[in-house]
Amino acid sequence: DTETMEHAIAFAETGHLCLGTLHANNSNQTMDRIINFFPEERRNQLLMDLSSNLRAIVSQRLVRTEDGKGRKAAIEILLNTATISEMILKGNFQAIKEIMHKSRELGMCTFDQALYELYNKGFIGYDEAIRNADSANGLRLQIKLRGERKAPSNAGGTTSDDLSMLAEDEPEQ
């Protein structure tokens, strides 16, 4: 609720570590949900507060293992670097996913990168990876072009003729 979010932000502004949970599919949706707790007239101040006080957003999805006997956590990590802080301040949340994708060495990881790793290591199956991806076409392409483990031959999706059609046309969830 709005009151709890206000207290959390005020607490963080005083230098205290504040941890919270929020139901959201990924870090982009988390940012949208936080912003939408507040009225439009408070947006600029809220973006400034978040850009300077947010440290990280960690999201997880439990995906079925390939043997069907359990689940593995696919974990997305957003860290508030100077570049991320600038995007938050501007309200440019769509740019954050691409920055995360390019910032593995800093410790960031998108869901699609986490699913790719789980698939390559044999923990989850192809269909489960694609079903849980933020960008199913992007993950299909990544597996096809860079995967140590190739997609099953009966998997629907991308053929070599389709690669040119996979330009960033799939919206983020």
Confidence class for position 153, pLDDT limits 50, 70, 90: confident
Classify residue 173: in a domain, yes or no. Answer: no
Mean pLDDT, residues 20-41: 92
Classify residue 21: in a domain, yes or no. Answer: yes
Q: For position 69, which CATH number holds? A: 3.40.50.300
- The domain total for the chain is 1
Q: What is the pLDDT of residue 155?
A: 65
> Is the pLDDT higher at 169 or at 73?
73
Mean pLDDT, residues 92-103: 93
Three-state secondary structure of the chain: CHHHHHHHHHHHHCCCCCCCCCCCCCHHHHHHHHHHCCCHHHHHHHHHHHHHHCCEEEEEEEEECCCCCCEEEEEEEEECCHHHHHHHHHCCCHHHHHHHHCCHHHCCECHHHHHHHHHHCCCCCHHHHHHHCCCHHHHHHHHHHHCCCCCCCCCCCCCHHHHHHCCCCCCCC
Domain residues for the domain of 135 are: 2-153
Classify residue 172: in a domain, yes or no. Answer: no
